[in-house]
Amino acid sequence: MAEDRKTFKIKDGHLGEVKIADEVVAIIAGLAATEVEGVSSMAGNITNELVSKLGMKNLSKGVRVEVLSGIVNVDVALNIAYGYSIPEVSAKVQERVKSAIENMTGLEVSIVNVRIATVDMGNNK
């Protein structure tokens, strides 16, 4: 396992401990955010179609994660598709990101800040 990554213990049992890298939490947040209708892409991120070819590393772009004592604070920057309500899409992103991180890692999410970087004019749905 790479030692330059920041990791967090999420379980310590009789068979050993389970650690998760902060980048994994960021990838979970990025994937969850892009599942919301109206989100065109993550700011500074590649498209999901390219992920299968290039790997998962780029999915954490546009996401900043801070974990302190098992509590997660998340900042996501995204591009919204033209014609969607920014407050509605942002609220859905916050809920989806919080739910995905908590369900997959067992960590508690305290804050999910959303920043709209651009409006994508080419993604009219």
What is the pTM for the complete model shown? 0.81
- pLDDT score, position 68: 87
User: Above pLDDT 90, what percent of the chain?
Assistant: 54
Checking if the pLDDT of 97 tops 50, the result is yes
Domain 19-118, CATH class in plain words = alpha beta
- Residue 92, helix vs strand vs coil: helix
**Alpha helix positions (H), the chain:** 22-34, 48-54, 86-105
Name the one residue in this structure whose structure tokens are 């974990």.
Answer: 67
Q: How far apart are the first and last CA of the chain?
A: 42
d(CA 105, CA 45): 23
